[in-house]
Amino acid sequence: MPTALIVLAAGRGTRMQSDLPKVLHPLAGAPLLWHALRAGAALEPARSVVVVGHGAEAVARAARDWDPEACIARQEDPRGTAHAVLQAAPHLQGFAGDAVVLYGDTPFLGEATLGALAEARQAADLVVLGFEATDPAGYGRLVMAGDRLERIVEQKDATEAERAIRLCNSGVVCADAALLMDLAAAVGNANAAGEYYLTDVVAIARDRGLTAAVVRCPEAETLGINTRAELAAAEAAFQRHARAAALQSGVRMPGPETVFFAFDTAVGGGALVEPFVVFGPGVTVETDATIRAFSHLEGCHVSRGATVGPFARLRPGAELAEDVRIGNFVEVKNALVGEGAKVNHLTYVGDASIGEGANIGAGTVTCNYDGVAKHRTEIGAHAFVGSATMLVAPVRLGAGAMTGSGSVITDDVPDGALAVARARQVTKPGLATRLMARLRAARKEG
């Protein structure tokens, strides 16, 4: 049976103390919304609807950055979760299948949990995801009758007996899409907050003789982000899990507590990641590569046997072939570095290609930007670039070519040629001694 996702992402998030919509705050280098959409992807949804409100345009862009085919529904006036779900109705007209309601600020739902939710739907008209709370204060309580879910009561509307219940509501609901919309439309707002609670669909369903069930999951999976402190706690939880998973897969990390992963970091078993390495989004590191301490990687690929750092920066578009050496205080951006090439220290390589076996001397810069546009530098296989060479793009250095140290290269250099582009040295014997004596005398007289 096909499944549709409804991801609620309309909240302002006032407790975040930020103008940025809550679901766009980053967790492990990606908006919270992306984490929710990635979790929902485990259900292989046939359709995804993201309900936006505060910061609608920015949230919609983020949703479509993740899924270009995502449908966008707008909740102009926030009047509760049932009202938010109803905004998705036009996008689900004629949809024959289940709908699952997720939340853009709840990033940690597991694939197994969502699979259990879908499986439970085969035996019940409505399924709710619940958890046993360490401290249930503030959560809606799941009121059970044996194995059946009778209703959900919000904390502010609960009796003392109901507040003692520890089985709590995550907010995640699964039901036939048409039924869910029908139930949501029947929700009223006769409650302490005057809102249309999605939780009320359970009691409405039971009154109609329909069945409701609960799937339980660990409390950690239901963590919602409402404050900066909760976001920081979520980041810490993500990093703990990512580090443990990396170690389990065979990644060597002498100081795992100092390494930070992004939501999509892929590091092959056998790779070495030294302390204080930070991975931004879009990084793949193959097995047997080495990332040395204090390096920052983002949007790049590091092949088998390559070494990066220490104190190196790989920016988006950096592609390192096997056995490449990128050393200390080297920055690489939008560049292909060929097999066995060396860029060992104090160098910037941007918008460039470096052939296999080439050696780039210290202090080299590919001068790629003219103030308006970027230009490429091509360095051939086994070329030798002397220290402090400025390669003014667009320019090509041929295979086996060389540059003299301190050169400013503005014209192409043929294969096997040596290019020297610097002023001729002039030496004046004794002038330094005479000049210093004159300066000291002038200072003494002053």
For the domain bounded by 228-419, which CATH number is listed? 2.160.10.10
User: Is 80 exceeded by the pLDDT of residue 51?
Assistant: yes
Q: Which helix (H) or strand (E) holds 269?
A: none
Calpha distance 28→104 (Å, rounded):
15
Task: Please name the residues in contact with 280: beta carbons below 8 A apart, sequence gap of 6 or more.
Answer: 29, 262, 296, 297, 298, 299
- What is the pTM assigned to this prediction? 0.90
Share of the chain above pLDDT 90, in %: 92
Calpha distance 3→9 (Å, rounded):
19
Query: Which of 293, 298, 305 shows the shortest CA–CA distance to 342?
Result: 305
Average pLDDT over residues 76-84: 92
Q: What is the pLDDT of residues 82-109, one digit of tens each?
A: 999 999 999 999 999 999 999 999 999 9
Calpha distance 168→217 (Å, rounded):
11
Per-residue pLDDT at 77: 87
More confident residue, 72 or 1: 72
User: Is 90 exceeded by the pLDDT of residue 74?
Assistant: yes
Compute how many other C-beta atoms are within 10 angstroms of the C-beta atom of residue 439. 10
Boundaries of every domain in the chain: 3-222, 228-419
Q: What is the pLDDT of residues 413-423, one digit of tens each?
A: 999 999 999 98
Domain 3-222 class in CATH: alpha beta
Q: What is the pLDDT of residues 269-305, one digit of tens each?
A: 999 999 999 999 999 999 999 999 999 999 999 999 9
* Predicted confidence band of residue 236 (pLDDT cuts 50, 70, 90): very high
Per-residue pLDDT at 138: 86
Per-residue pLDDT at 368: 97
Per-residue pLDDT at 307: 98
More confident residue, 12 or 323: 323
User: Is 80 exceeded by the pLDDT of residue 403?
Assistant: yes
Per-residue pLDDT at 13: 87
Share of the chain above pLDDT 70, in %: 100
More confident residue, 155 or 298: 298
Catalytic residues: 345
Average pLDDT over residues 108-120: 96
User: Is 90 exceeded by the pLDDT of residue 445?
Assistant: no
